[in-house]
Amino acid sequence: DIQMTQSPSSVSASVGDRVTITCRASQGIRSWLAWYQQKPGTAPKLLIYAASTLQTGVPSRFSGSGSETDFTLTISSLQPEDSATYYCQQANNFPYTFGQGTKLEIK
């Protein structure tokens, strides 16, 4: 199975900060990567697919980049509502796998 490793596991940042979360795949996955945001008690929300395509309705402060094994999710100017856990997910090989999550807190 492809292992997806996110870093950091948790991060605390201030409103207006630029925040970057990384996701590393144990083998190349081309651009078959998605990013999700999950708030407590709710289903995940798709932010980015195909590594860098912004899902309709997602604010433009979110962006994704990378290919093969190294990917990043960037929030350009952190907002209070961005407090959540973020997951990456690969869809290149079965079984599809998620990263362990990155918990983002607002200072």
Partner 1 sequence: VQLVESGGDLVKPGGSLRLSCAASRFIFSDYYMTWIRQAPGKGLEWISYISDTGGYTNYADSVKGRFTISRDNAKNSLYLHMNGLRGEDTAVYYCARGQYSYAYWGQGTLVTVSS
Q: By the criterion CB under 8 A, which residues form the site for partner 1?
A: 1, 32, 34, 36, 38, 43-44, 46, 49-50, 55, 87, 89, 91, 94-101
**Least CB distance to partner 1 at residue 61 (A):** 19
Among residues 97, 98, 86, which one has the least CA distance to residue 9? Answer: 86
CA torsion, ordered 84, 7, 20, 46, to nearest 10 deg: -50
Considering the complex, state which of residue 36 and residue 62 has its C-beta at the smaller distance from partner 1. 36
Tell me the backbone φ, ψ of residue 4, rounded to 5 degrees.
Answer: -110, 120
Burial class (CB within 10 angstroms; exposed 0-12, middle 13-18, buried 19+) of 93: middle
Considering the complex, state which of residue 76 and residue 92 has its C-beta at the smaller distance from partner 1. 92
**Least CB distance to partner 1 at residue 43 (A):** 4
Considering the complex, state which of residue 15 and residue 50 has its C-beta at the smaller distance from partner 1. 50
Q: Is 43 left (phi over 0), alpha (psi -120 to 50) or beta?
A: beta
Considering the complex, state which of residue 80 and residue 95 has its C-beta at the smaller distance from partner 1. 95
